[in-house]
Structure 1
């Protein structure tokens, strides 16, 4: 047979994997590794999580809200009927409230997609859920027969009376022309206290429905939810985006995003969200394009901070 071409002999000689192992050989216990990896490490993770893990707070529901703060629930339901809640005036994608969207100069990004998730707070949060009861309240008939202006007048008058009642207690509201609003809100409170409202607001099309948007919006319109967030240090002015419940650290990599909400002009701007997002996009582009931007790419040569950080390495050169 002819000798192998020189190129093939060279490749075989340089292939480390084809050389025999000259070192020592010992048995490898794969079962032992599997036991340590799954059992020992698993127990260690569970133990450390129990000691240092973030708090496991129970889920906040409409039932717990109605039970813990019934006066706030009634006041919020009244605002939904009167169309004065935050959701009622939020704008796209929930409704077409004029001048409600945030703008970046003349650019109105919030309105580009239109009203994709239409929400009528009076019907979706109060009236339609009450219609699902086995015995709907008779006050629904009076509400349906009234004009839009009459409904607004009833809800406005009842909201004002609630705000001046002792402890905002509906039972201590002075007499007035509130129409069916007190009966409607009381029926909704009873429905929520029994745990029925959560399921009704989440009931949608399809076998699996994980859309909790209506319930969260309704909950967010009251003060109970925001009070809990304040107590847990989760609001915007408390750097809440960087915390989990209480003082437990959360997403620390979002510190730059959260920073802008603490300073002017973002802090007091009605367009804070879109301004912060735009600022972060600009900063991200600058970071991405840094090797291509003259002047910025030369900063390490003029400000040799890296030499201070890796001084041991540069000191040996």
Structure 2
């Protein structure tokens, strides 16, 4: 029976089909798995103990209202006046005119519409106070007033808060209307821990929606200062950091890079510009096999041949080996 050229070629180049000619010894799989598990577990625990990122406690309204009562009151008053960042954010929370980031006629933020409508005065202040066993009378007085009167009250109280340099809230005056009583009740609710639960419970039976609480916290300076102290803001490469300036999502370096350089770092529509650039780069990466020039880069820079050098070494013609294989194929065997 004569061996075919195909069989000879396969046996010559297929590493898996070559007979093992090295030393043979007994192999204890159970022992190796056990030792490997113990060693890897100890190494993992040791590395976690030495290099693990800190487990920072959750930020709560109790901490905020206790440590910085004026900042909490100022933010709550802005929510009540519908003048906070969230109140003017635009889609998906509200339909504030000219609030979205655009690039010419392109307005990605408005494509989804107002999917999560949030009235900051009601969602962050009035509705939580209505969950108290005894609703403050100031809530009814506020609700019955006209929009113009509410604006006058909040404007006057905001001016008083801006001039207060201490940690005490301004005393009640007629010009403030029910606003001091509302803010005082909300502060007491926050310090008791009730505000966190009331905001989380707005999504229904399961208290899993923390969007209102995060938006409320983000409107004040307390949360922003905590982020800056932990190196988590945009100009600190925050998207790829963990708390305490520990390295986190390193694959986000390219996304974070654009926020550190001009013109993106100062552009009012920076988010939109960065998203579009990353979209184009991702599309180019996906289409590399089809784009002339880009698809030939591996030929110009054959880095892959260095990585898989053993494979390419086995594919390189060997004069002596090929001559012996050719004679065996030509003569065959019976």
State the TM-score, normalized to the length of structure 1. Answer: 0.84
The structure whose RCO (Cα within 8 Å, separation 6+) is larger is 2
Other structure's SS at 1:166 match: coil
Report if aligned partners of 2:232, 2:245 keep a CA contact under 8 Å in 1: no
Task: Tell me which residue corresponds to 1:98.
Answer: 97
In the aligned structure 2, how far is the partner of 1:163 from the partner of 1:174?
15
Task: Tell me which residue corresponds to 2:82.
Answer: 83
Task: Tell me which residue corresponds to 2:328.
Answer: none
1:26-62 CA distances to partner (integer Å, 9 max, x unpaired)? 25251x3443344442232122101111111111111
Report if aligned partners of 1:162, 1:169 keep a CA contact under 8 Å in 2: no
In the aligned structure 2, how far is the partner of 1:293 from the partner of 1:228?
46
5+ residue gaps, structure 1: 1-5
Task: Tell me which residue corresponds to 2:142.
Answer: 143
Other structure's SS at 1:241 match: helix
Task: Tell me which residue corresponds to 1:230.
Answer: 228
Task: Tell me which residue corresponds to 1:26.
Answer: 26
Report if aligned partners of 1:67, 1:193 keep a CA contact under 8 Å in 2: yes
Moved more, 233-242 or 85-94: 233-242
Moved more, 63-72 or 221-230: 63-72
Report if aligned partners of 1:81, 1:152 keep a CA contact under 8 Å in 2: no
- Shift in Å, 1:63: 1.6
Other structure's SS at 1:56 match: coil
Distance verdict in 2 for CA 1:133–1:153, change over 3 Å? same
Task: Tell me which residue corresponds to 2:194.
Answer: 196
Task: Tell me which residue corresponds to 2:259.
Answer: 261
In the aligned structure 1, how far is the partner of 2:249 from the partner of 2:50?
20
Report if aligned partners of 1:89, 1:97 keep a CA contact under 8 Å in 2: yes
Other structure's SS at 1:246 match: helix
In the aligned structure 2, how far is the partner of 1:188 from the partner of 1:84?
18
Aligned length: 302
In the aligned structure 2, how far is the partner of 1:141 from the partner of 1:204?
20
In the aligned structure 1, how far is the partner of 2:207 from the partner of 2:233?
29
In the aligned structure 2, how far is the partner of 1:213 from the partner of 1:135?
26
Distance verdict in 2 for CA 1:306–1:175, change over 3 Å? farther
In the aligned structure 1, how far is the partner of 2:110 from the partner of 2:22?
72
1:208-248 CA distances to partner (integer Å, 9 max, x unpaired)? 33210000000000000000111111111111112111221
